[in-house]
Chain A
Amino acid sequence: MQSGSRLSARLERRLPQLVVSPLFAVSLFFVYGFILWTAYISFTKSGVMPNYTFDGLAQYQRLWNTPRWYVAIRNLFVFTALFISISLAIGILLAVLLDQRVRIEGVIRTIYLYPMALSFIVTGTVWKWILNPGLGIERLVRQAGFENFTFDWLVNPDYAIYTVVMAAVWQSSGYAMALFLAGLRSVDDEVLKAAAIDGAGPWRTYTGIVLPMLRPVFLSTVIILAHLAIKSFDLVIALTGGGPGYATDMPATFMYAFAFQRSELGVAAASATMMLMTVVAIIVPYLYSELRKTAG
Chain B
Amino acid sequence: MKERRISGIVQRRGPRHVLMRGLLFAILLLFCAYYLVPLVVMISTSLKSLAEIREGSLLSLPQTLDFSAWTKAWSAACVGVRCDGLAPYVWNSVLMTVPAVAISTFLGALNGYALTKWRFPGADWIFALVLFGAFIPFQVVLLPMARTLGFLGLAGTVPGLILVHSVYGLAFTTLFFRNFFIGVSNGIVQAAMVDGAGFFGIFFRVVLPMSIPAIVVTVIWQFTQIWNDFLFGVAFTIGDSNPVTVALNNVVNTSTGVKQYNVDMAAAIIAGLPTLAVYVIAGAYFVRGLSAGAIKG
Interface residue ranges, A against B (CB under 8 Å): 12, 15-17, 19-20, 23-24, 26-28, 30-35, 37-38, 41, 50, 90, 93-94, 97-102, 105, 108-123, 125-130, 132, 135-137, 139-140, 143, 170, 174-175, 178-179, 181-182, 185, 189, 192-193, 196, 202, 205-206, 220, 223-224, 227-228, 230-231, 233-234, 237-238, 241, 251-252, 255-256, 259-260, 265, 268-269, 271-273, 275-276, 279, 283-284, 287, 290-291, 294-295
Given A101-B8, A121-B249, A276-B136, A265-B53 contact (CB < 8 Å)? no
Contacts of B22 in A (CB 8 A): none
8 intermolecular pairs with C-beta atoms under 8 Å apart: A12-B199, A16-B118, A19-B110, A30-B141, A119-B272, A125-B249, A129-B42, A290-B295
Pick from B31, B170, B287: contact of A94, CB under 8 Å: B31
Contacts of A28 in B (CB 8 A): 129
Contacts of B278 in A (CB 8 A): 117
Interface residues in B255-284 by Cβ distance below 8 A to A read: 261, 264-265, 267-269, 271-272, 275-276, 278-280, 283
Pick from A90, A126, A192, A255: contact of B41, CB under 8 Å: A126
Pick from A32, A102, A122: contact of B248, CB under 8 Å: A122
A174 touches B135 (CB 8 A): no
Pick from A116, A135, A228, A252: contact of B54, CB under 8 Å: A135
Please classify the interface of chain B as helix (H, G, I), strand (E, B), loop, or mixed, using the class held by over half of its residues.
helix
Interface residue ranges, B against A (CB under 8 Å): 1-11, 24-25, 27-28, 31-32, 34-36, 38-39, 41-42, 45, 53-54, 57-59, 107, 110-111, 114-115, 118, 120, 123-124, 126, 128-133, 135-145, 147, 167-168, 170-171, 174, 179, 182, 198-200, 224, 227-228, 230-231, 234-235, 245, 248-249, 252-253, 261, 264-265, 267-269, 271-272, 275-276, 278-280, 283, 286-287, 290-291, 293-295, 297
B35 touches A178 (CB 8 A): no
Give the distance in Å from the alpha carbon of A185 to the alpha carbon of B199 in the complex.
39
Contacts of B249 in A (CB 8 A): 121, 125, 237-238
Closest Cβ of chain B: how far from A106's Cβ, in Å?
9
A119 touches B137 (CB 8 A): no
B227 touches A119 (CB 8 A): yes
Closest Cβ of chain B: how far from A222's Cβ, in Å?
11
Give the distance in Å from the alpha carbon of A223 to the alpha carbon of B296 in the complex.
10
A185 touches B1 (CB 8 A): yes
A182 touches B291 (CB 8 A): yes
Give the distance in Å from the alpha carbon of A31 to the alpha carbon of B167 in the complex.
9
In the A-B complex, the 8 residue pairs with the smallest Cβ-Cβ separation, listed nearest first, are A16-B118, A119-B228, A117-B279, A224-B297, A122-B272, A234-B230, A31-B133, A34-B144
Pick from A90, A93, A227: contact of B297, CB under 8 Å: A227
Closest Cβ of chain A: how far from B127's Cβ, in Å?
8
Chain A residue at minimal CB-CB distance from B271: A122
Pick from B5, B8, B32, B53: contact of A108, CB under 8 Å: B32
